[in-house]
Amino acid sequence: MRWRTIIPINILRYTLWDTELNGYYIPKDSFVLANLWPVHHNPKYWGNDAEEFRPERFLSEDKKELIKSEYFIPFSIGKRSCPGESYARTEVFLYFTAILQKFHVSLPVGAKPDFDGQLGIGLGPKPYDVCLKKRF
């Protein structure tokens, strides 16, 4: 969700009054979009390897605890963040846990993963094949 932000452009917001942000004047009733992609790929927050897929960056050094980062915001932030966040996290966890408990998952022999994705309303995976081998 950080490395390939599914919905990189957040929903429209608008300003309630004239304001200034980081030296930019924003008049009242302006529409504002938050682009989450640069937040999730900024080396200032994620290190020089921000473009690399390293899920262990969310684990403590002893790999026993999950570390929450204030810069990881796939569901936005604030009082208007996604109301389905806890539901989505629970569903994804249960879905993948159920699959991984029952199957060994791998790519077909010789296949290489393609992480580029395809753009639509959000960023989704390109079609791909996987091999599922039942666990005994």
* 82 annotated as belonging to a binding site for a ligand: yes
Three state DSSP letters for the chain: CCCCCCCCECCCEECCCCEEECCEEECCCCEECCEHHHHHCCHHHHCCCCCCCCHHHHECCCCCCECCCCCCCCCCCCCCCCCCHHHHHHHHHHHHHHHHHHEEEECCCCCCCCCCCEECCCEECCCCCCEEEECC
Binding-site members are: 82
Question: Annotated binding site for heme: which residue ranges?
Answer: 82
